[in-house]
Amino acid sequence: MSLTVLVVGSGGREHALAVALSRDPGVASVHVAPGNPGTWAVSSQYGVSTGSPLWTRISSVDPLDGEQVASLARELGAGLVVIGPEAPLVAGVADRVRAAGIPCFGPSAEAARLEGSKQFAKEVMAAAAVPTARSRYCETAEQAESALDEFGPPYVVKDDHLAAGKGVVVTTDRAEALAHAIACRQVVIEEYLDGPEVSLFVICDGVRGIPLLPAQDFKRVGDADTGPNTGGMGAYCPLPWVPEGFVTHVMDTVVDPVLAEMNSRGTPFQGLLYAGLALTSQGVRVVEFNARFGDPETEAVLPLLQSGLGQVLYAAATGSLTDIPELTWDDASSVVVIWAADGYPGTVAKGGRIAIPALDDNATVIHCGTALDDQGGLVSHGGRVLAVVAQGSDLTAARDNVYQAVDRIDFPTGFHRHDIAQRAAAGLIPTPPIQGQ
Ligand code: AMP
Ligand code: GLY
């Protein structure tokens, strides 16, 4: 097989997907559109040591325009299109690409509602008897007040629309919770779930799913999980503390029932089902679903995959995952640390200068929000700017490697967390039950 792949998107997830796809001997070329300076670079000039010479620079495509994406795929002779972010999926770009007869990895607009509407996800979970937090859908201040009082603190208030990971407020301050509910208008208010969170990515062909290694994301902006929620400040994989049988349990109680429910609705889920899970004292509960690879977990998970990613995504896009042998993984650990721009997750200034030296082979810099200035210099162009990724024989080694690389990057107007994977590496996360106590 000699596959040409078009990856749609311009963030860290798409850059990481492109790096992983270029390692697949069955993939002849990878194009990322619109891409970013990381995916455009074929040298190590911007810190991309694994950039494939097969990549090309394409920047003139609107990822939200299905016709544009389909015609670019046709022009490139792409045998597979991979849609990275949620916005094009919710806008139906995968439907357009499939309608043009091109295999596409990414759910239809209908199936992407699992991410696009928190309330829709709750309905599907209720119909499929999938364990999740009890919740109320609220459209008025009165409804919100009554839901807040029903569940009590800590309060969890979720915007019912896409909000780039920033629509959720978790707080013990009732006034703050109510203000968020009023500002968002349509919200889901739910009970608070205690226990560590796990992100499980499952590659789905509409009928069955193949899970990747579980990962953990760090959502809060500050060390020791302080400050507001972000899109994710770091991640690691695998998780030494998850109970035995965890992945099988989640496939049986969460993923398979959801795939069956989506099928019975006539809207099969083909693409990446991302289950955000809380391992509570009552057992595993779904925190949320996403319809695409998570960022930055993808940057940590994919480097450990030995199997060819292109083959697996192609099989999912063509409904033939049964043909895929069991995935194989490196017996190593992987840690990713995000360099964010000052002010994130609030308003950030663009244009902060960044210098990335040549790094050792065991560290990679993935570009999330960068741009080139008029002189061709690398500058920041978003909240999350770079994802620094490294592997090691265990989490301690991977942390040492990644923080050495993080410290060598010069980004005066940026910051990062210092404690990604620290508690897990020190063995401080107790193994929770999966069935409840
Ligand atoms: P979501 O966008 O639904 O993933 O929420 C973002 C983050 O908010 C999650 O990763 C959790 O850290 C937190 N969160 C969401 N729902 C709950 C909940 N019911 N209980 C506790 N924390 C939550
Ligand atoms: N890592 C969180 C997300 O991708 O939504």
Tens-digit pLDDT string for the chain (437 aa)? 789 999 999 999 999 999 999 889 999 888 888 888 888 764 333 444 344 444 556 667 899 999 999 999 999 899 999 999 999 999 999 999 999 999 999 999 999 999 988 889 999 999 999 999 999 999 999 999 999 999 999 999 998 877 665 688 999 999 999 999 999 989 999 999 999 999 999 999 999 999 999 999 999 999 999 998 899 999 999 999 999 999 999 999 999 999 999 999 999 999 999 999 999 999 999 999 999 999 999 999 999 999 999 999 999 999 999 999 999 999 999 999 999 999 999 999 999 999 998 887 779 999 999 998 888 889 999 999 999 999 999 999 999 999 999 999 999 999 999 999 999 999 999 998 888 76
The C-alpha angle 4, 289, 62, rounded to 5 degrees, equals 40
Joined tokens for residue 151: 């569940």
- Tell me what pLDDT residue 307 has: 97
Whether ligand 1 lies within 6 angstroms of the CB of 287 is answered as yes
Atom of ligand 2 nearest to the CA of 292: 4
Total-model pTM: 0.94
Whether ligand 1 lies within 6 angstroms of the CB of 181 is answered as no
Rounded Cα distance, 249 and 240, in Å: 17
Q: Which ligand has the shortest distance to the CA of 287?
A: 1
Supply the angle between the helices 141-151 and 174-184 in degrees, to the nearest 10.
140
**Distance (Å) from CA 220 to ligand 2 centroid:** 12
Q: Which ligand has the shortest distance to the CA of 278?
A: 1
Atom of ligand 2 nearest to the CA of 232: 1
Q: Which ligand has the shortest distance to the CA of 234?
A: 2
Q: DSSP E strands: which ranges in 18-73? A: 27-34, 56-57
Whether ligand 2 lies within 6 angstroms of the CB of 310 is answered as no
Residue nearest to atom 4 of ligand 2 (CA): 294
The C-alpha angle 103, 108, 109, rounded to 5 degrees, equals 145
Which of helix, strand or coil describes residue 155? strand
Atom of ligand 2 nearest to the CA of 293: 4
Whether ligand 1 lies within 6 angstroms of the CB of 158 is answered as yes
Whether ligand 2 lies within 6 angstroms of the CB of 294 is answered as yes
Whether ligand 1 lies within 6 angstroms of the CB of 133 is answered as yes
